Structure 1
Amino acid sequence: MRRIGALIVGASLLAACSGKTRPPEPLFETRVTERRAGPCGADGQVDCAGARIEYPACVAAPVDEICERINRTVAEWVLRPLDGGAPFDAPDAVIERFLEDHGAERQRAPDGRHTWSMERTVRVSFQGPQAISLSALESGFTGGPHPFSSLTYLTFRPATGERLTLSEILVENGRHGLDAAGEIYFRQARELAAGAVLADEGFRFPGGRFTLPENFAFNRVGLQFHFNVDDIAPYPLGETGLTIPQGEALPWLRPEFQ
């Protein structure tokens, strides 16, 4: 955990030192780090690299541990390397490695075009008594046939800061009912007929049966889910997002999440 301490320690200390009055719910402040490298002027955009990281830091909460847990989870996502491996110490280190890799690629192929970009943006998308949801979007381009992009939802218990899984918010045996509701909205999002066979349309599900992803968040309308590129279909079919309205999700949710 020492590696992610640089991101969370400031927020944790601020929460601990603001003990005069505790807020009724977690409070967040936006932090931004960004840099560019290479010839980035008007005449040299083809060799420019830019990186930007934005995230919300939990700075105060009814209990310090709430901020510590939320900030730790955000740090794990923000500080991970693009190519896997151990997390970096701070957002600056993530960006520095990205720009170093860009510089190395320019030296390796000096006659090529090296317009690189990388953005990681985490924002509070929902905050209510039942949950706090953050949307974590990563996008960029490092050469190759197409850019990269993925959306991850991070959902927490407001009272503890613990990250929630889909099974934890559902009643016993509620997954089947929620999947059935989700399939209706998935087909609407993909403009598929009710009788269309998902496998024939290019979508891969275990046993050919539609299943919602673990990638979920609360919003003002209900529950939203997101399939990233390559999760259930080849790249050309792209990503799919859907929302199950609150009224249709309620029968399958535990009372504390309604």
Structure 2
Amino acid sequence: MKKLIYLFAFIIAISTNSLQAKTFFSDTLKYKYQTFEKHSKNCVKIDSICAVFKVKYPVFENAEFNATIQKEMLKIFQENNQDVQKLKSLEEASKVFLGEYDQGINEQLKDGTELNPIPWTMETTTQVAKQKGKYIMISIFTDWFTGGAHPVGMNYNLAYEAQTLKRIALKDIFKQGYEPRLLKMAETIFRKQESLKLSDKLDESNGYFFENGKFKLNDNFIITDKSIDFFYNVYEIKPYAAGPTLLSIPLSLIKPLLK
């Protein structure tokens, strides 16, 4: 189930099952939001106890960019779920998710056990966070519940170069040799907002999951007009109860490092 969950956190595809006709205009690309929604077949009570798969996402007039986004999302999914069959569309993804729910209901009915179905939800909202200047920022918000101890929400950010529409990484934004200085600035800000001393270890003894207790920046970032923001999802560097972590580094501090 954990591997299945990651799929819906990342997958984006173009679907004809759409709502919303509003089109947004921007500096470089035009797009409109569409919504794909499916419900499980074995709903015990319609619109009450069942499974819902819902994805809202932008569709650009630039078909190549749509394909690029889908390819990037599926590539990330495959890297984390190598033994899971590759899915090509939201339709296929919804069938897998809803099929697991229906299978659980059918097994309860077959075994003659007391039917106690728990509603499942898988909702993803993909949006254009920023489209101005050099970069296009795509943010993906996911919220799911599959009968566990609590629902889980995740936030993923993707950066693209506006002219080429290619995915960019930190090395594409900063000058060569930027790593030590950026990391030092980021860790200083992180320790300050976490109320940590320089001597405090970033390991499980203090409630952190950094590998070998060493601070590290991830690739889940977004560039704003005033800062570059790194987002750590739940379970990534802290326990679920601690929630997600936003680390914002002012552009004024890192301006000398930028290309």
| Shorter-normalised TM range | 0.7 to 0.9
Could you tell me how far apart the structure 2 residues matched to 1:97 and 1:242 are?
35
Could you tell me how far apart the structure 2 residues matched to 1:131 and 1:92 are?
30
Q: 2:224 matched to which residue of 1?
A: 219
Distance verdict in 2 for CA 1:6–1:128, change over 3 Å: closer
Q: 1:105 matched to which residue of 2?
A: 104
**Structure 1 position 193, deviation (Å):** 4.9
**Structure 1 position 242, deviation (Å):** 1.8
- Verify the 8 A CA contact 1:229 1:239 in the aligned structure 2: yes
The 3-state SS of whatever aligns with 1:153 is strand
**Match runs of 1:110-125 below 5 Å:** 110=109, 111-125=115-129
Could you tell me how far apart the structure 1 residues matched to 2:171 and 2:258 are?
10
**Structure 1 position 139, deviation (Å):** 1.7
Give the structure-1-normalised TM-score. 0.76
Q: 2:54 matched to which residue of 1?
A: 52
User: Which of residues 236, 239, 246 is equivalent to 2:241?
Assistant: 236
Could you tell me how far apart the structure 2 residues matched to 1:127 and 1:155 are?
10
Could you tell me how far apart the structure 2 residues matched to 1:133 and 1:159 are?
13
Instruction: Tell me the amino acid that sits aligned with residue 254 of structure 2.
Output: A
Structure 2's unaligned 5+ residue stretches are 1-10, 17-25, 110-114
1:7 aligned onto 2:17: no
Give the structure-2-normalised TM-score. 0.76
Instruction: Tell me the amino acid that sits aligned with residue 185 of structure 1.
Output: I
Distance verdict in 2 for CA 1:211–1:237, change over 3 Å: same
1:39 aligned onto 2:44: yes
The 3-state SS of whatever aligns with 1:93 is helix
Q: % of aligned pairs identical? A: 24
Could you tell me how far apart the structure 1 residues matched to 2:116 and 2:13 are?
37
User: Which of residues 214, 218, 227 is equivalent to 1:209?
Assistant: 214
Q: 2:8 matched to which residue of 1?
A: none
**Structure 1 position 132, deviation (Å):** 0.8
Distance verdict in 2 for CA 1:201–1:83, change over 3 Å: same
Instruction: Tell me the amino acid that sits aligned with residue 152 of structure 1.
Output: Y
Distance verdict in 2 for CA 1:76–1:179, change over 3 Å: same
Superposed CA RMSD in Å reads: 3.2
Could you tell me how far apart the structure 1 residues matched to 2:233 and 2:201 are?
20
Could you tell me how far apart the structure 2 residues matched to 1:88 and 1:97 are?
9
Which 4+ runs in 1 deviate beyond 6 A? 77-84
